[in-house]
Amino acid sequence: MSEHQDHVRQSLEGQNVDPSEDLGIDAMRWTPAPTGNTVPDATTTAAIAEAHALLDQATNAFLALVDLLEDGDHRVVAVASTPQGELTECQELTVIGDAVVLDEAEALRVTVTVAAAMVACSTGSVVVRTSAPNGVESVRGWAVRHGWLRPLREPEIRQAYTVDAETGAPLDPPPDLEFRQAERVPRLEAEGGYESASHTAPRDNRPPNQRN
């Protein structure tokens, strides 16, 4: 695991948060509450294991998505539609070369929202609006399907911006906004690396015939 991945994951677990700083996210930190001498039953243990698995999967998806982003300023909006209601969280981040500048509390909330969308009875999506260094504004999106992020085609993301979801009425598209086909988000491989080179995984600069 790279230094960046490790730092982000520790932040999601609450290890990098200053205890004196009130971020209002105590209920969402990935840290089990003390149980004292109480031994959880099998149902509780299974539920805890499932929650941790979903958070792991959502963290992997968030990191893999960040790895795809090119230089520029990005606004990431995650939405989860659950039986208990709808969750929406956003993340502002900047990519400069291999460096990613982001707010850890925002990253946590977005990751938890993605995890909520991965629950079997829920649906969700992630939309990224990008301001490139050359001034071009673009948007792309992914649907949360089968525990991962499925890229939306250009017509799908265009429809989301130009058709009212409740009434079906047409909407004027934002001026000078480019609608883009989203990239495939690579899954984390068993040996701990992503399927392709990324911001968070060290680059392999060796000649192809010398790589494992």
Q: 3-class SS at 101? A: strand
At residue 142, φ and ψ (nearest 5 deg) are -135, 140
Token couple for 94: 């900047």
The average pLDDT across 56-73 equals 95
pLDDT in tens, 9-54: 554 444 544 544 444 333 334 455 555 566 667 777 776 777 788 8
Q: 3-class SS at 25? A: coil
Quick one: pLDDT at residue 39?
63
b/e per residue, 147-181, with b = 16+ CB within 10 A? bbbebbeeebbbebbeeeeeeeeeeeeeeeeebbe
Quick one: pLDDT at residue 182?
97
pLDDT band of 74, cuts 50, 70, 90: very high
Decide: 185 and 61 in contact? Cβ < 8 Å: yes
